[in-house]
Structure 1
Amino acid sequence: MVNAPLTDWVSRIEERALAFGFAACGIAPAGEDPLRSARLEQWLGEGHHGTMEWMEARAPERRAPQGLWPEARSVIALGMSYAPAHDPLALERSPEHARISVYAQGKDYHDVVKKRLKALARWLVAEVPGTEVKVFVDTAPVMEKPLGEAAGIGWQGKHTNLVSPAHGSWLFLGAIYTTLDLAAAEPHRDQCGSCRACLDACPTNAFPAPYRLDARRCISYLTIEHKGPVDESLRPLLGNRIYGCDDCLAVCPWNKFASAAQAIAEFLPRAELVAPRLGELLALDDAGFRALFSGSPIKRIGRDRFIRNCLYAAGNSGNRGLIPQVEALSADPDPVVAEAAQWALGRLCA
């Protein structure tokens, strides 16, 4: 163990985090923040979480790190860059291709980030015997974005995502809760100013106001979390987006400072997912879907929800060459897929 005052450990942790591939690191207190809790309660109260029942069910644990783990004293908030080298909006006018969110074109970030979080946590435990830690990557009631702001690594922009002045919006976030009482950073100052590029770029008007997101209208929610049919009024607005949406992130001016060179190799896009053709995706059966998306976060939504999304994109494409494939899917065993195919046929045959 290195003998050093506890106050010196913040810089040591930041140095080690960078060595493990993290682009941003900061310390936040583990106690409850009244403003953060109030905003969570308002969001849930307005029903803006949609069908994500777990957000409401575990709200008490989500309000503060100590609500989840009372022994926690500090949070090490971390960000790992996945800044793309290509334009995320490049396929906007290519309806024969499907658009997959940048974050899902490489390996599953849950596995990549968690592996490095664990390595950092093991180092800390070895250096400071008696320290206890817990690591989290988007699979527990942890408010990573507000904690990232409290830790000084960025601020929650008007699109509600974390924005770093050095790395833009392209950060995967993770957290290490620890029993160490570390010196917390100053919360990051909001630097959105009068800009509203992200709000104006949203195809579905999912922002009822700056800094507020109605997930029920968000394309990322609709294509990933929402299990049933998407409201018919929203389907045309999905365009050719079949998994997630990058529009509000891609137009953020702060992304001009983000460098693709900082991204981890595992996050580099797989060639077959950068501009996949809708016709090829519509042909996937369950085995083909699982094979194509092995090791990808896309795999978790399953073949049926994925094909539903592809059918909405087909209906929006205007490509009559897809009619035979869409027609075949109108008899799919999954009723949501079958209904999506019938809707797409109506669009293509109109």
Structure 2
Amino acid sequence: MVNGAATLNLVERLEKQARELGFVAFGVASAKEDPVRAARLEEWLGEGHHGTMEWMETRAHHRRSPQGLWPEARSVIALGMSYAPARDPMALAGLSDRARISVYAQGKDYHDVLKKRLKALARWLIAEEPEAQVKVFVDTAPVMEKPLGEAAGIGWQGKHTNLVSAEHGSWLFLGAIYTTLDLSLSQPHRDQCGSCQACLDACPTDAFPTPYTIDARRCISYLTIEHKGPVVEEFREAMGNRIYGCDDCLAVCPWNKFASSAHSMREFLPRGELVAPRLSELLALDDAGFRAFFSGSPIKRIGRDRFVRNCLYAAGNSDDPGLLKPCRDLIEDPDPVVADAARWAVGRLTATP
């Protein structure tokens, strides 16, 4: 076991190593259960705010605390990597023939990038402390990265429920390393949102029933990525030309003025063809074309049908007669959800003003 000054020294060296690997935010939290965090999770699930993300509920006992997932864990190393964009994420809002893809999905798949570096950091830690056991996580396990990040002092959960950093704004990819080591803990970060509610006001679907609470069932990120069936018509128009995710509540955060794209990893630089893609070209993608086009991208995981469904909603909102033919071509699509979206889009594009 590492104790006292030796613990502090280890954490300082660990942070130095993390920063050399490209992490811009670092902190350590306890692996023990926080009753307040656990109660908030149960309340959120009880309200049904997780929508069809059943895994949130079925593994809630693991999400309650790091020790709920791994009883031997003693400390959590919380890490953040910047993906601050060089361009305004809202710039495409008025370009009806173009599609808007969330900033985080325009480069390489962050899961792969972060996990590779988390594993490198974990190997370094084991080399320093051979008795240590570690597990690394990047958004694919029942780990509450955002509240753990707040407990570790790398930011605070803003009113939009995402982590906000005073240095990097709302643009952080989060990862965590659980370890059996008792490491020196960081001070939790205090909330610095104040009276600001820019993120709440910016949401096009009113997905925040109260500050600090999101109803995923109304969130465009959820609707375009996680939701598998037809999107209810109430939200289709509000989706605008957003076809994968939504950056609105993140983009308007005043703390972003301190974020710099210079801190972003090269892997997160946007692919040119994803910055402002033409809807007409995306609507023409078949399954093979979709897989090839989005190879190495997080977008690939939602599949061609859900992706084209989103593009059809965007086309229906475009008022662009040039998109009528590609929409009509999809009315007989084998996927009933795509066909439904195509009929909706054609109806919108042919409606009398």
2:264 equivalent in structure 1: 263
1:310 equivalent in structure 2: 311
- Say which SS state the counterpart of residue 344 (structure 1) adopts: helix
CA distance in structure 2 between the partners assigned to 1:319 and 1:312 by the alignment: 12
Post-superposition offset of 1:6: 2.1
Post-superposition offset of 1:206: 0.1
- Say which SS state the counterpart of residue 238 (structure 2) adopts: helix
Amino acid at match of 1:47: G
Post-superposition offset of 1:183: 1.2
Percent identical residues: 77
Amino acid at match of 1:286: D
2:159 equivalent in structure 1: 158
CA distance in structure 2 between the partners assigned to 1:138 and 1:272 by the alignment: 26
Superposed, which structure 2 residues align to 1:218-297 within 5 Å?
Answer: 218-297=219-298
CA distance in structure 2 between the partners assigned to 1:186 and 1:292 by the alignment: 44
Superposed, which structure 2 residues align to 1:172-191 within 5 Å?
Answer: 172-191=173-192
- Say which SS state the counterpart of residue 84 (structure 2) adopts: coil
Post-superposition offset of 1:190: 0.2
- Say which SS state the counterpart of residue 228 (structure 2) adopts: coil
Residues 110-136 of structure 1 show CA distances to partners (whole Å, capped at 9, x for unaligned) of 000000000000000011111000000
Residues 30-49 of structure 1 show CA distances to partners (whole Å, capped at 9, x for unaligned) of 00000100100010000000
- Say which SS state the counterpart of residue 191 (structure 1) adopts: coil
Amino acid at match of 2:265: I
CA distance in structure 2 between the partners assigned to 1:62 and 1:12 by the alignment: 29
CA distance in structure 1 between the partners assigned to 2:104 and 2:47 by the alignment: 28
CA distance in structure 2 between the partners assigned to 1:241 and 1:135 by the alignment: 32
CA distance in structure 2 between the partners assigned to 1:10 and 1:166 by the alignment: 21
Superposed, which structure 2 residues align to 1:114-193 within 5 Å?
Answer: 114-193=115-194
CA distance in structure 2 between the partners assigned to 1:223 and 1:52 by the alignment: 13
Q: Does 1:103 align with 2:104?
A: yes
2:300 equivalent in structure 1: 299
* Greater Cα shift, 294-303 or 182-191: 182-191
| Structure 1 gap segments, 5+ residues each | none
1:58 equivalent in structure 2: 59
Post-superposition offset of 1:13: 1.0
1:210 equivalent in structure 2: 211
2:329 equivalent in structure 1: 328
- Say which SS state the counterpart of residue 321 (structure 1) adopts: helix
Superposed, which structure 2 residues align to 1:27-42 within 5 Å?
Answer: 27-42=28-43
Superposed, which structure 2 residues align to 1:70-109 within 5 Å?
Answer: 70-109=71-110
- Say which SS state the counterpart of residue 79 (structure 1) adopts: strand
* Greater Cα shift, 2-11 or 123-132: 2-11
CA distance in structure 2 between the partners assigned to 1:9 and 1:189 by the alignment: 25
- Say which SS state the counterpart of residue 13 (structure 1) adopts: helix
Amino acid at match of 2:175: G
CA distance in structure 2 between the partners assigned to 1:165 and 1:7 by the alignment: 24
Residues 214-271 of structure 1 show CA distances to partners (whole Å, capped at 9, x for unaligned) of 0000000000000000011110000000000000000000000001000000000000
Amino acid at match of 1:180: L
1:68 equivalent in structure 2: 69
CA distance in structure 1 between the partners assigned to 2:323 and 2:245 by the alignment: 22
CA distance in structure 1 between the partners assigned to 2:12 and 2:74 by the alignment: 18
Post-superposition offset of 1:184: 1.0
Amino acid at match of 1:83: A
TM-score by length of 2: 0.98
Runs of 4+ residues deviating >3 angstroms? none
Residues 121-162 of structure 1 show CA distances to partners (whole Å, capped at 9, x for unaligned) of 000001111100000000000000000000000000000000
- Say which SS state the counterpart of residue 62 (structure 2) adopts: helix
2:6 equivalent in structure 1: 5
CA distance in structure 1 between the partners assigned to 2:160 and 2:20 by the alignment: 30
1:196 equivalent in structure 2: 197
Q: Does 1:26 align with 2:49?
A: no
| Structure 2 gap segments, 5+ residues each | none
Post-superposition offset of 1:7: 2.8
